A and B are shown apart, each in its own frame.
Chain A
Amino acid sequence: MPVSKLVGTKVKRREDPRLVQGLSHYVDDLRMADVMHAAILRSPHAHAHINGINTDAAQALPGVVTVVTGADIGDSVGSVPCAAANPTLRTPPHPVLAQGEVRYVGEPVAVAVAGDSYTARDALDLIEVDYEPLPAVSDLEKALEPGSPLVHSQWDSNQAFTFECGTGDMDKARAEADVIVRQKFIHQRLAPIPVETRGVVARYFPGEDELTVWSSTQIPHLLRAMLALVLGFPEHRIRVIAPEVGGGFGCKLNVYREEALLAHLAMKLKATVKWIEGRRENMQATIHGRGQVGTVEAAVKKDGTILGVTYDSLLDTGAYHQLLTPGMPPLTGLMISGSYKIPTLKFTSTGGFTNKVATDAYRGAGRPEATLVIERTMDLIARELDMDPVELRRKNFAQPSDFPLSVATGLAYDSGNYQAALDKALEMVGYQDLRAEQKRLREEGRYMGIGFSTYVEICAMGPSAALPAGGWESGTVRMDFTGKATVLTGVSPHGQGEETTFAQIVSDDLGVPIEDVAVLHGDTAVVPNGIGTFGSRGISVGGTAVYMATQKVREKAEAIAANVLECSTDDLEFEDGKFTVKGVPDKGITIQEVALQAHVATKLPAGMEPGLQATSVFEPSNFTFPFGTHICVVEVDTHSGEIEIKKYVAVDDCGKVINPMIVDGQVQGGIAQGLGQALLEEVVYDEDGQLVTGSLMDYAVARAEDLPPLEFARTETPSPVNPMGVKGVGEAGTIGSTPSIVNAVVDALAPFGVTHIDMPLKPEKIWRLCQGGNK
């Protein structure tokens, strides 16, 4: 039976039957005998000294196994790791349970373990902590002022690090410019909110002296290495399993206190211990994203030529560094050029400790900030020069012939055709008519706005040289006795559908039905090595490793086939899973028969090892740079401040597409989060560091009604960085969408003199602007 080519087509996801029936196993669904339950007592203070903790009553509660505090742990468990490299970095100790001082609301103080989760929670109520409140600082800019309360008293300021990048002479650019545009931007803190919170089950096997940790993580292999370091327990005796994972968006690309704490408890108690994060804990103690403030300055000629851009920014790191906290600003700085040719670029960032939970990678991770800054700046320049924002973009775009494009931030963009994506989007949205309509509506006192984002992003993380812990990925493809294929991948999907897309690749290239391809992931005992899923790297790095391993398997299969058929490999052709001798179509052998031969091992070429499997580790030579144009059309009700999205057009280019349905899903989901940042979402702490948005009642995640109808299209510019020409698409929607929405609303309110609005664009803010101009 001919095997149809699956790459590039909509293949229904193979993950879904178990998921739609509720039959899959997320961490909380694992059923284990004699499991104990942990509940964590967290600080209600943003900053306080702990004078003492009395656990007697909690310990005495029937059903409680143990109550453990920071003092009990002492230095038997190491510091939670930060992997980002920066010579200026101040890294405070990050203990699994507070050691004498708490520095944010939600910081773990003690843990109770009991036979059931209700009793564990009851025990928390019986723990008495004697806190002595200390001055706290919540506002980032205040934290960096002299005289601010110190988050960590061992240093003389709250400065956590500095970073800069870029080239060129900005003074010269300023001197040559006709116009200087300046604007301050606030990139508010966001909560990632996967619908599945974090969760950990740790089990220690005393006989084998082995530790197994199930965690809702995006990085099982990295987590294993980090746990080995933190626990001082050999890596090869730790097994980490990421079971079904209910969304991550970057917040599970991390190593958390609770993972090390649960592992420690399991070893100490020689037992199985489980902790499932509640939503309130999730809002308090899982990393937040963004949290950046900065000021842009652009030096521009009258004709729209951009001579130089500087962006000086601050990062609200929170109280402790998580795995990649200081790694976010570089991603902003490196992408500040956007899709434009700008000869002079300068980026600076200063990290500031605050009495809040850490910020770290949330979908987009540093790039949404860059995109917002440059795309808003383009609109500010256009307004200043009275130019059409489309014309200004056209004028400054990098052209297809410029690739590989050297950017003043030091990157080399792989491929792109920005104009093509823009043109397509303009056509879809009917741009010329829209401007006429805008004019007409304004005369009627109605305020419509059109916003653009001609974004480019950096994906396929990435070359190892540019990442703190390796940027390669592994893929193993194996055909067994019966001709079924098993794929092992080091990426650890949590909704991206790699069980389907990777199987499409293997099915096509080995000519086996997709039903005969199983993709295994997320278990360090099954997958030999790996890095994980983040930075839109699944298909571009992990998929490439699988692709490369598949080619090796096919080559070996070909050699075996030639030996069996007694011909040279040059005489063979391979189609639909069958090797045939050229010109002798009935002389052939299927790949399944080859797999059998590979294992029976009696007709192998001399010296060949039995079996039919191969592993490849792909080390990308560069990042990839997906791009696109998002256009948003809004109408603002100036009486209520409400924003209605009338039209939303997204043209995205993520290189070659393996499964268009999955790509669409990634873009749509990404836009929902980008729209969330533009219109709805904001983590709010009060002045004293109390978390105001501590539940889904106070923190507005987009619901179905919040999303407008979206129109999509794609252009396809292959990446030269990997053999399949893929780029990655996990973050495009989030990175590309936000500026188009903000630009549209600012455009709508131009008649009110509004030139900028900080996110989220809540009705109250808009209404005030309509009353009193740009304040």
Chain B
Amino acid sequence: MSNTTTIQVRVNGVSRTDEVQPRLLLVHYLRDVLGLTGTHIGCETSLCGACTVMVDGAAAKSCTLLAVQADGCEVETIESLATEDGLHPIQEAFWDCHGLQCGFCTPGMIMATRQLLQENPSPSEEEIRRGLEGNICRCTGYKHIVDAVQQAAEQMKAGT
């Protein structure tokens, strides 16, 4: 399986050029080639959302994309959210509201929240629950996640 393809991807603001197997999944590229292990794998079948990242500004499940499909794209992972100044308001809100327990779903949940709030800066509880339907959390029962998304929405509106 030595046939490889060259891809160019901007990941978290850094331009990358890598030789990859055409069959390499984007999530494995991020985790195994780039060492960005914050993006998790919970099902490999696009059903759990643990692997959610942003591709060209839209949330995508990186277990269902090939790395070659991201050629020429801008990819953002959970590692891109916090800055020198601290946590992103969504991260802060998940922390404040106890929106995580084992934390395994959390990076994907946060990236999905990012997408949700991008599209709808003031979601209702129902809209939040629907907006996160692609992401499974087995620990929290979602209530605190909904609280976190609401708090993040408030914060982000106040901040802009």
**Chain A contacts to B: CB under 8 angstroms:** 12-13, 15-17, 19-26, 28-29, 31, 63, 117-119, 122, 193-197, 244-247, 249, 276, 278-279, 494-497, 661-662, 664-665, 668-673, 695-697, 701-705, 707, 709-710, 733
Would A20 and B141 count as touching, CB distance under 8 A? no
Interface residues of B in 31-56 (CB under 8 A from A): 31, 35-45, 47-48, 50
CA distance A119 to B35 in the complex (A): 20
28 A-B residue pairs with Cβ-Cβ distance under 8 Å, sorted by A, are A12-B95, A12-B98, A13-B95, A16-B95, A21-B87, A22-B36, A22-B78, A22-B107, A28-B41, A31-B35, A63-B1, A195-B50, A246-B102, A246-B105, A279-B47, A661-B98, A665-B101, A668-B142, A669-B141, A671-B141, A695-B43, A695-B45, A696-B43, A696-B48, A701-B138, A703-B133, A703-B135, A704-B132
Known: A247-B104, A696-B136. A707 touches B142 (CB 8 A): yes
CA distance A559 to B144 in the complex (A): 45
Other-chain residue from A122, A497, A704 in contact with B101 (beta carbon distance below 8 A): A497
Pick from A495, A661, A671, A709 the residue with the most CB of B within 10 Å.
A495
Pair B143/A697 contact, Cβ less than 8 Å: no
Which residues on A sit within 8 Å (CB–CB) of B117? none
Residues of B within 8 A of A661 (CB): 98
A678 to B7, CA, bound (A): 48
Bound: A544/B78 CA distance, A: 37
Judge whether B11 is part of the interface by a CB distance below 8 angstroms. no
| Chain A interface helix/strand/loop/mixed | loop
A193, B139: Cα distance in complex, Å: 10
Contact B87 A704 (CB under 8 A): no
Decide if A669 touches B140 in the complex (CB within 8 Å): yes
- CB of B136 within 8 A of CB of A703, answer yes
The answer to whether B138 touches A193 (Cβ under 8 A) is yes
Judge whether B47 and A495 touch: CB under 8 Å.
no
Residues of B within 8 A of A696 (CB): 43, 45, 47-48, 136
A197 touches B42 (CB 8 A): yes
How many Å from the CB of B52 to the closest CB on chain A?
A: 11
Contact of A195 among B95, B104, B141, B146 (CB under 8 A): B104
Task: State whether A118 touches B98 (Cβ < 8 A).
Answer: no
Q: How far is the CA of A705 from the CA of B125 in the complex (A)?
A: 10
Minimum CB distance partner of B92 in chain A: A20
**Inside 8 A of B36's CB, which chain A residues have their CB?**
22
Output the nearest chain A residue to B134 by Cβ-Cβ distance: A703
Contact yes or no, A13 B129, CB < 8 A: no
Q: How distant is the Cα of A21 from the Cα of B88 in the complex, in angstroms? A: 9
| Contact between A19 and B106, CB atoms less than 8 A apart | yes
Question: Once the chains are docked, how many angstroms separate the CA of A247 from the CA of B91?
Answer: 20
Is B141 a contact partner of A278 (Cβ separation < 8 A)?
Answer: no
Which residues of A lie under 8 Å from residue B138 when comparing CB positions?
193-195, 247, 249, 669, 672-673, 701
Q: Per a CB cutoff under 8 Å, which of A26, A249, A697 touches B40? A: A26
Q: How far is the CA of A709 from the CA of B104 in the complex (A)?
A: 24
Q: Given A16-B100, A247-B104, answer yes or no on A665-B79 (Cβ-Cβ < 8 Å).
A: no
Q: Is B16 an interface residue (CB 8 A)?
A: no
Contacts of B135 in A (CB 8 A): 703-704
Contact B82–A21 (Cβ < 8 Å)? yes
- The verdict on B68 contacting chain A, using a C-beta distance below 8 Å, is no
Distance between Cα atoms of A26 and B41 in the complex (Å): 11
Q: Please name all residues of chain A whose beta carbon is closer than 8 Å to the beta carbon of B104 when the two chains form the complex.
A: 26, 194-196, 246-247
Q: B40, A246: Cβ atoms under 8 Å?
A: yes
| A17-B95, A21-B38, A28-B37 known; A669-B101 Cβ under 8 A | yes
Contact size range, B = 35 or more
Nearest CB in chain A: distance from B16 CB, A: 18
Contact status A29-B43, CB under 8 Å: no
Are A25 and B79 in contact, with the CB atoms below 8 A?
no
Q: Which residues of A contact B101 (CB under 8 A)?
A: 247, 495-497, 665, 669
| B142 lies within 8 A of A672 (CB) | yes
Q: Which of A19, A20, A665, A701 makes the CB contact (< 8 A) with B144?
A: A665
Interface centre among A12, A122, A661, A696 (most CB of B within 10 A): A696
Give Cα A670–Cα B142 distance, bound, in whole angstroms.
11
- B70 at the binding interface (Cβ < 8 Å): no
Q: Pick the contact of A704 from B37, B102, B128 — CB < 8 Å?
A: B128
Q: Which residue of B lies closest to A119 (CB)?
A: B1
Q: Closest CB of chain A to B43's CB: distance in Å?
A: 4
- Is the Cβ of B102 less than 8 Å from the Cβ of A194? yes
Bound CA–CA A754/B128 (angstroms): 36
Q: Give me 10 other A-B pairs in contact (C-beta within 8 A), A16-B103, A28-B31 excluded.
A: A12-B98, A23-B38, A122-B1, A193-B138, A668-B140, A672-B142, A703-B129, A703-B135, A704-B146, A705-B130
- Chain B contacts of A12 at CB under 8 A? 95-96, 98
CB within 8 Å for A195 and B102 given contacts A704-B132, A707-B142: yes
Q: Give Cα distance in the complex from A13 to B125, angstroms.
A: 24
Of the candidates A197, A244, A673, the one whose C-beta lies within 8 Å of that of B103 is: A244
Residues of A close to B95: CB separation below 8 A: 12-13, 16-17, 20
Q: B103, A20: Cβ atoms under 8 Å?
A: yes
Give the shortest distance, in Å, between B14 (CB) and chain A (any CB).
16
CA distance A246 to B38 in the complex (A): 13
Q: Which 3 A/B pairs are nearest by Cβ-Cβ distance?
A: A22-B38, A246-B104, A19-B103
Q: How far, in whole Å, are A247 and B50 apart by their CA atoms in the complex?
A: 13
Tell me which of A22, A63, A278 has the highest count of chain B C-beta atoms within 10 A of its own C-beta: A22
